[in-house]
Amino acid sequence: MDAQTIIARRIAQELQAGMLVNLGVGIPTQVANYVPPGMPIFFQSENGLIGTGPIPEQGMAHATLTDAAGQPVTALPGASTFDSAMSFGLIRGGHLDMTVLGGLQVDEQGRLANWMIPGKMVPGMGGAMDLVVGARRVVVAMQHTAKGRPKIIRQCSLPLTSTRRVDLVVTELAVISFADGRATLLETAPGVSIKDVLANTEASLVVPDHVPSMQL
């Protein structure tokens, strides 16, 4: 199983029936592929859609039914559409149960940086700052390291997305919770030891006596 699949499958286990969930671009989008069969989830696209469905079949795209990247999607039964003020009212106003975003860095206090690398990559924050501030639960989906360097570090060197701490970080090596304000190792991926995780993490991790393996 590749890294992205491990991450997406594990995060899908965080879903609960009836949740309103926003998935960011990249690995987060793949979480939708692993929703437990029969579990109703409302996926929001911040461009103004709740009830986002799969990519339409060839030739069935509609010019005004798109996701936040402008790509054609479908709408599931029970879907709704609205303007951008409403969309971010849902996000900021505490109506969004969970957001899943990508990450560049997460620090020891659970603060996320995911929107720019000064001088190099300046995509803009889009909806990320509102999502991290407003969602009831913030889950970060990212690779554990970038070019061999840890992404879970003592202090973010990149501009923060928010000072609000994230709840959960899921990587291809581990599940790390920040629920009590400290980075706590909850699970390791199959075949990955606690030592492997620690060797690839700069932030100090709380390691409980029992750390189970992810059940994928």
Partner 1 sequence: MKAIPLHDAVALIPDGASLMIGGFMGVGTPHRVIDELLRQGRRGLTVYGNDTARPGVGIGKLISARAVRRAVVTHIGLNPETQQQMLAGETEVDLVPQGTLIERIRAGGFGLGGILTPTGVGTVVEEGKQRLTVDGRDYLVETALRADFALVNCSMADYMGNLAYALTARNFNPVIAMAADTVIVEANHIVPVGVIPPDQVVTPAPVVDYLITND
Query: Does residue 114 belong to the site contacting partner 1 (CB under 8 A)?
Result: no
Residue nearer to partner 1 on the CB measure, 110 or 127: 127
- β-strand 20-23 against 98-101: which pairing, if any? parallel
Residue nearer to partner 1 on the CB measure, 3 or 125: 125
Rounded-to-integer distance, Cα 186 and Cα 146, Å: 22
Question: What is the distance, to the nearest Å, from the Cα of residue 91 to the centroid of all Cα atoms in its chain?
Answer: 14
Phi, psi of 174 (to 5 degrees): -160, 165
Contact of 189 with 172, CB cutoff 8 Å: yes
Q: Is 108 a catalytic residue?
A: no
**3-class DSSP state of 65:** coil
Shortest distance in whole angstroms from residue 47 CB to partner 1: 4
Contact of 68 with 45, CB cutoff 8 Å: yes
| x-marked contacts with partner 1 along 22-61 as a string, rule CB under 8 A | -----------------------xxxxx------------
Residue nearer to partner 1 on the CB measure, 9 or 48: 48
DSSP state of 32: G
**Binding residue for partner 1 (CB under 8 A) from 65, 76, 198, 211?**
65
Phi, psi of 207 (to 5 degrees): -115, 110
| x-marked contacts with partner 1 along 77-106 as a string, rule CB under 8 A | ----xxxxx-xx--xx--------------
Residue nearer to partner 1 on the CB measure, 36 or 123: 123
Shortest distance in whole angstroms from residue 84 CB to partner 1: 4
